[in-house]
Amino acid sequence: MNQAVQAAAPAAKRKPKETGVPDNKKYLHPLMVKNYGNWKYHDRPRPGVLHHVAHSGDEIWSVRAGTQRQMDVHTIRLLCDIADNFAEGRVRFTIRSNIEFMVSEEKKVAPLIAELGKHGFPVGGTGNSVTMIAHTQGWLHCDIPGTDASGVVKALMDELHEEFIREEMPNRVHLSTSCCEINCGGQADLAIIVQHTKPPVINHDLVANVCERPTVVARCPVAAIRPAMVNGKPSLEIDESKCMCCGACYPPCPPMQINDPENSKLAIWVGGKNSNARGKPTFMKMVASGLPNNAPRWPEVAEVVKRILTVYKEDARPWERLADWIDRIGWPRFFEKTGLPFTKYLIDDWRGSRANLNSSTHIRF
Amino acid sequence: MAKKLHDTPNLDQLEDGPWPSFVTGLKDLAKDKDYVVDLLGQLEESYKTKKGYWKGGTVGVFGYGGGVIPRFTELKNADGTPKFKDAAEFHTLRIMPPPGMHYDTATLRQFCDIWEKHGSGLIAFHGQSGDIMFQGATTENVQKSFDEINEMGFDLGGAGPAVRTSMSCVGAARCEQSCYDEAQAHRAVLNTFLDDIHRPSLPYKFKFKFSGCPNDCMNSIQRSDMAVIGTWRDNIRTDEALAKKWFAKHGMDELVNDVVARCPTKTFQLKEIKNVKKSDSISSVAVSDTHAVEIDNRDCVRCMHCINVMTGALAPGKDKGASILVGGKSHLKIGGLLGTVIIPFMKLDTEEDVEKLVDFAQRTIDFFAENALEHERTGEMIERIGLANFLEAMEIEADPAMVNSPRMNPYVRTDGWDAEVAKINAKKQAA
């Protein structure tokens, strides 16, 4: 229990109503309540629009638009005005921070799309499009960020906007970014993640006062950290030959600064798939690293992302997710087609890594 | 009118381009709030130096031990005063959304009014754990804003070593693939653990996610300690009118290359109608006057691909429920883990069914709380103790659906083998 609770407040303080997760029924569009659990099928009349048909014969149209996720109240009120005046007052958000407006009549779809367009909200993100990037907090709010999140997403979505508003990819493309290796952005077809390249720089004056040393020692995945006396003060030291620069020690011990303006790089990962469709779910794999953390628009990252997506778009067959496509063409061809260098750092040497090695003569020439 | 904006040459470059700009939104807020003027000042500094300047701390609301993410500025002048004093405290409230993240505009407008009054005016829909993130309040205003949000019927989410806020897909509300009432299960489970959400005291975080079908739109296998994923046991349902409509539009090439060839177990076949097999486990539907698809459901792994492509023509069966997988997590500490099947199928039709899910969740968390090491996730704990020990503690029988294959090494002591076989046989006879 933290100090806020221990510092028991005067009796006048309001006790929380421990209500938990609220019921969603009162927020649902009335047609969703009526046909709850009784939908029959859906189609997509155009990118950004889902048309669901219930067993009852009822129909509902959902118009999906991209947002900046980190929204000011004026933007949210504008979206509410659009929902009240051009839709039916009910909205929902997708896991990738797109907003959906539900309407019961087809004739409302076009004016709703026009209004969203007028205010600069891109309509799309459905089906085989590149959808909005799942992202983290970055410099705006995180305590351990190697880079920004909202800014990276804004810069990249400007570049990928055309693929968001169209459905021209082989299958859906989910993207994520993470501002440290913890990867709060999560698994995706293509992810951009900070990759540190130097061990943490320790401020030995602060460690004893700020860090619970045994916790920090225990946190290291490769047991590279040990307690030590430095300049007469209890501190920690790192076996730099063991350290793989993951930054796991930094959250419990901020004096072990892992972020480095020059040496914290960005890596690109591909082939994560959450769905069980076709193959089993997969984790993504690192295919590029060493890209500079070049705010405010990260052009080098955008170039690699677009290069991979361009090759995928040209080469993959319908319904192949990025992982499915690479399964078919093989990794050598992936690196050949994208022109990305396959370095020794891409050969897995973590526990379980033998399963990632090719123990066969299945080799494409 | 707020004070003058700081120069933000880097952030200014994020106002161009077709995608909505959070910088433009922040500048809009900064017209009225010195708070946001200084937030922009600090963010611009991060863009210049490529460093973050927030540190954590301890801020909460009365009665709870978690759910607020405290942030104090570390960007100080030489004399120790904050460089951007009006944004020296910038805490976030994590608020749990309704299942499926549905809202009416009145609720969203009320959020805006509260946050304009007490906070920065910046709200994220939603964070990666699924919370509505009310970003940016002073220590003093955290309680005030929480009190008003809480009076609306919304509650704080999880942070730290706690049961975390959950997410569920749009599900039964609008999706034909939904195999259970995601919202009901989501609320029944999460609201059982409010104490573990609000008063962090577990070894580490514990996340639930609820997806209505194996498309797993909530990424639950990759990202949750307990994934509840809808599925079905009986035959795929078919609709001839929609199947013929699909075929008329898409044709033979797409049927063969996009559906038949992509079935992971090759149980989906295209046949001349006269050759279609008849049996209790076969689903078949004509796509034309001459051809039909035939699916032997015993070989179907419920991957969803054919149903995704031919939605409506094919649909999940009627004997629906969920598969439960345990132990998914990201890299730290031992590397990423996908969830493992623990309960291949459970019904979730009735309140009693859902109670069984709640009970399993309760027993899992109790075991996790007792047995996990500090900062060890459930998947890591299972890896350390072995799945068989976890099953025994949960009183769940071993099932071949839990593994990709039986073991590939002899390093196991098997002197209990005969007793296990006798138990299995006794159970078979009793059934």
Tokens, residue B2 = 């707020």
Specify the DSSP class assigned to residue B133.
E
- Is the same domain home to A219 and A103? no
Over residues A45-89, the pLDDT tens digits come to: 999 999 999 999 999 999 999 999 999 999 999 999 999 999 999
Q: What percent of chain A has pLDDT over 90?
A: 95
Over residues A181-232, the pLDDT tens digits come to: 999 999 999 999 999 999 999 999 999 999 999 999 999 999 999 999 999 9
- Is the same domain home to A222 and A251? yes
**Rg value, chain A, Cα:** 24
Q: Give the whole-angstrom CA distance, residue B89 versus residue A303.
A: 37
CA B89 to chain centre: 30
Fold match between domain B167-232+321-430 and domain B237-315 = no
Contact indicator for B156, B133 with CB cutoff of 8 Å: no
Bridge partners for B343 per DSSP: B324
- Is the same domain home to A275 and A151? yes
Q: How far apart are the first and last CA of chain B?
A: 76
- Is the same domain home to A319 and A227? no
Nearest residue on chain A to B166, judged by CA atoms?
Answer: A21
**B55 near A CB under 8 A:** yes
H helix runs in B191-312, sequence order: 194-198, 220-223, 240-254, 305-309
Closest CA to B61 of B127, B157, B125: B157
Contacts of A32 in chain B (CB under 8 A): 102, 173-174
Say which CATH class B237-315 falls into: alpha beta
- Chain B closest CA to A4's CA: distance in Å? 5
pLDDT reading at A249 higher than 60: yes
B351 C-beta neighbours (distance < 10 Å), count? 10
* For residues A298-311, average pLDDT: 98
**B125 near A CB under 8 A:** yes
Closest CA to B134 of B153, B160, B108: B108
Q: Give the whole-angstrom CA distance, residue B200 versus residue A296.
A: 37
Supply the CATH number for residue A239's domain: 3.30.70.20
Residue A300 resides in a domain: yes
Domain coordinates of chain B in residue numbers? 9-151, 167-232+321-430, 237-315
> Domain count of chain A?
3
Question: What pLDDT score was predicted for residue A196?
Answer: 96
Closest CA to B292 of B278, B276, B316: B276
Question: What pLDDT score was predicted for residue A13?
Answer: 87
Residue A240 resides in a domain: yes
Sequence-separated (6 or more) residues with CB below 8 Å from residue A171: A128, A316, A318, A319, A320, A321, A324
- Is the same domain home to A55 and A168? no
**A230 near B CB under 8 A:** no
B344 φ, ψ (degrees, to nearest 5)? -60, -35
Question: What pLDDT score was predicted for residue A286?
Answer: 98
Residue A359 resides in a domain: no
Contacts of B99 in chain A (CB under 8 A): 21, 24
Residue A364 resides in a domain: no
- Is the same domain home to A230 and A81? no
Q: Give the whole-angstrom CA distance, residue A98 versus residue A63.
A: 10
Residue A354 resides in a domain: no
| Mutation site, A24, A92, A211, interface B, largest B CB count within 10 A | A24
Question: Across the interface, do B43 and A158 touch by the CB < 8 Å criterion?
Answer: no
Contacts of A90 in chain B (CB under 8 A): 102-105
Question: What pLDDT score was predicted for residue B332?
Answer: 87
A15 C-beta neighbours (distance < 10 Å), count? 9
**B60 near A CB under 8 A:** yes
Question: What pLDDT score was predicted for residue A1?
Answer: 44
**A337 near B CB under 8 A:** no
Q: Which CATH architecture has domain B167-232+321-430?
A: 2-Layer Sandwich (3.30)
**B87 near A CB under 8 A:** no
Confidence at A6, pLDDT banded by 50, 70, 90: low
Residue A3 resides in a domain: no
- Chain A closest CA to B140's CA: distance in Å? 12
Residues of chain A numbered 268-297 and touching chain B (CB < 8 Å) = 272, 274-279, 281, 283, 293, 295-297
> What's the residue count for chain A?
365
- Is the same domain home to A100 and A238? no
Three-state secondary-structure class, residue B238: strand
Instruction: Give residue A346's identity as a one-letter amino acid code.
Output: L
Residue A253 resides in a domain: yes
ipTM of this predicted structure: 0.96
Residue bearing tokens 């407040």: A9
| CA distances in angstroms from A337 to A313, A357, B75, listed in the order given | 12, 21, 45
- Is the same domain home to A79 and A139? no
Which of A60, A142, A150 has the CB atom closest to B52's CB atom?
A142
Q: What percent of chain A has pLDDT over 70?
A: 97
Q: Residues of B131-140 as b/e, b for ≥16 C-beta within 10 angstroms?
A: bbbbbbbbbe
Contacts of B114 in chain A (CB under 8 A): none
Q: Which domain holds residue A159?
A: 130-197+261-348
| Mutation site, A35, A88, A102, A139, interface B, largest B CB count within 10 A | A139
Question: What pLDDT score was predicted for residue B431?
Answer: 85
The strands making up B282-286's β-sheet, listed across from edge to edge, are B268-272, B291-296, B282-286
Indicate the burial class of B429 (C-beta count within 10 angstroms; 0-12, 13-18, 19 or more).
exposed
Question: Across the interface, do A72 and B25 touch by the CB < 8 Å criterion?
Answer: yes
Which of B19, B96, B335 has the CB atom closest to A154's CB atom?
B19
Nearest residue on chain A to B127, judged by CA atoms?
Answer: A136
Q: Give the whole-angstrom CA distance, residue B165 versus residue B181.
A: 18
Which of A21, A120, A154 has the CB atom closest to B186's CB atom?
A21
Q: Which CATH architecture has domain B9-151?
A: 2-Layer Sandwich (3.30)
pLDDT reading at A7 higher than 70: no
Q: Give the whole-angstrom CA distance, residue A54 versus residue A40.
A: 5
The strands making up B68-69's β-sheet, listed across from edge to edge, are A70-72, B122-125, B132-137, B91-95, B68-69
Over residues A256-299, the pLDDT tens digits come to: 999 999 999 999 999 999 999 999 999 999 999 999 999 999 99
Specify the DSSP class assigned to residue B173.
G
| Mutation site, A41, A69, A133, interface B, largest B CB count within 10 A | A41
Q: Give the whole-angstrom CA distance, residue B17 versus residue B358.
A: 48
Residue A11 resides in a domain: no
Closest CA to A220 of A203, A186, A204, A244: A244
Closest CA to A17 of B147, B92, B157, B183: B147
pLDDT < 70: residue spans in chain B: none
**A342 near B CB under 8 A:** no
Question: Across the interface, do A277 and B222 touch by the CB < 8 Å criterion?
Answer: no
Q: Give the whole-angstrom CA distance, residue A338 versus residue A303.
A: 11
Q: Give the whole-angstrom CA distance, residue A268 versus residue A290.
A: 9
- Is the same domain home to A100 and A39? yes
Over residues A16-48, the pLDDT tens digits come to: 999 999 999 999 999 999 999 999 999 999 999
- Return the HEC string of chain A: CCHHHHCCCCCCCCCCCCCCCCCCHHHCCHHHHHCCCCEEEEEEEECCEEEEEECCCCEEEEEEECCCCEEEHHHHHHHHHHHHHHCCCEEEECCCCCEEEEECCHHHHHHHHHHHHHCCCCECCCCCCEEEEECCCHHHCCCCCCCCCHHHHHHHHHHHHHHHCCCCCCCCEEEEEECCCCCCCCCCCEEEEEEECCCCEECHHHHHHHCCHHHHHHHCCCCCEEEEEECCEEEEEECCCCCCCCCCCCCCCCCEECCCCCCEEEEEEECCECCCCCCCCECCEEEEEEECCCCCCCHHHHHHHHHHHHHHHHHCCCCCCHHHHHHHHCHHHHHHHHCCCCCHHHCCCCCCHHHHCCCCCCCCC
**B336 near A CB under 8 A:** yes
pLDDT reading at A9 higher than 70: no
Q: Give the whole-angstrom CA distance, residue B385 versus residue B395.
A: 15
Contact indicator for B200, B193 with CB cutoff of 8 Å: no
| CA distances in angstroms from B232 to A281, B299, B315, B396, B410, listed in the order given | 19, 13, 10, 20, 35
B5 φ, ψ (degrees, to nearest 5)? -65, 145
**A242 near B CB under 8 A:** no
